[in-house]
Amino acid sequence: GENVEQHPSTLSVQEGDSAVIKCTYSDSASNYFPWYKQELGKRPQLIIDIRSNVGEKKDQRIAVTLNKTAKHFSLHITETQPEDSAVYFCAASSPSGGSYIPTFGRGTSLIVHP
């Protein structure tokens, strides 16, 4: 099955700095890579996603890059703000067997200091 590794587990930055979270996956058939933000005690919410036919996607201060050859993808947040503080999860979804079940990373706790 798919295995997703996520680093770092904790990331502390100053407001205005950039933050980068990296994930690797094992199943070369995976073709959908969503990123979720989960604030304390709340539900995970999709913030951006990318499919394997695209190398990069950007939405305002958030961008995701995908390197299919190396099987890794990254989340980039620029001009971080205190409200960006949350746990971020990456996931990789493989169509193998028709499942499309996402396998999640263990999460990165992002702390943005004012």
Partner 1 sequence: EAGVVQSPRYKIIEKKQPVAFWCNPISGHNTLYWYLQNLGQGPELLIRYENEEAVDDSQLPKDRFSAERLKGVDSTLKIQPAELGDSAVYLCASSLNKGSEQFFGPGTRLTVL
Kindly state whether residue 80 participates in binding partner 1, applying the rule CB under 8 A: no
Q: Residues 80, 15: contact at Cβ < 8 Å?
A: yes
User: Is residue 100 at the binding interface for partner 1, with CB under 8 A as the rule?
Assistant: yes
* Contact with partner 1 (CB under 8 A) among 66, 92, 107, 112: 107
Q: Least Å distance between CB 43 and partner 1?
A: 4
Angle at 89 between CA 91 and CA 61, to 5 degrees: 105
User: Does the footprint of partner 1 cover residue 99 (CB under 8 A)?
Assistant: yes
Q: Is 9 left (phi over 0), alpha (psi -120 to 50) or beta?
A: alpha
- Taking the least distance from each CB to partner 1, the nearer of 51 and 113 is 51
